[in-house]
Structure 1
Amino acid sequence: MSKNYTPTMYGPPPAAPPSYTQAIGGVPPTSPFIPQHAFVHRGPEILTTVVPLGPEPTHMICLHCHAEIDSSTKSEPGLVAYIFGALICLICPFGCCFIPCCVDKCMDVHHYCPNCKAYLGRYKR
């Protein structure tokens, strides 16, 4: 090497790998390589299962507030009630078409959390 050469005069070539000080912070995000020390330990994971909802209140853990609850239910006329109502209307046009809206077997059941009032799902007939 000559005596007049200084490393700061020329700098690294354009395709040079990152220097040691640049690589200490990690590999740039454009690189497909992810070092093992980049993974963060997150603690225990919570495993949840899907609880089938039925026509009655269901004992479960709320997905929103994570409390152990018995769901509160609310019944509303479902598709079955409207189909039976339309069929009855064709046979008897005197207001009998509203009868399926009063029958429990034709109602959909909506489940809510009594603790945080979150909607948990619907049981369709």
Structure 2
Amino acid sequence: MDRVYTSQTWHSSSSFLSSAHRYPPSNPRLEKAYVALQAWKHAITADPKNITGDWSGPLVCNYTGVYCTAALDNPSQMTVAGIDLNHGALQGSLPVELGLLSDLALLHLNSNAFRGTLPGRLRI
């Protein structure tokens, strides 16, 4: 299923769109999210449901469990606003790079086995 960009958020659609309209242009927020999510993927030691199987390439808004929306302070830029990996049975650690997700409003990790502490920049 493809993700389709709208002015408010990403949503799933099976309709065909040209690649020019399929993904928003990259920006510094999404580039930092790519670094953070790749570091996390490498820190995951068990992924029995292959949740992170599509976590490759810079289009982080298409990753399973990753949700993007327009940044509150700059609606022309997309940002990662939520990550929901609930019931993923994932194991591993939480890398410090997760602190790069400065616009993250939701982090749902129930039913996983992550060890360590949240990076300081994510704590409220």
TM-score of the pair, normalised by structure 1: 0.22
TM (norm. structure 2) is: 0.22
Q: Which structure has the greater CA radius of gyration?
A: 1
| Relative contact order higher in (CA < 8 Å, ≥ 6 apart) | 2
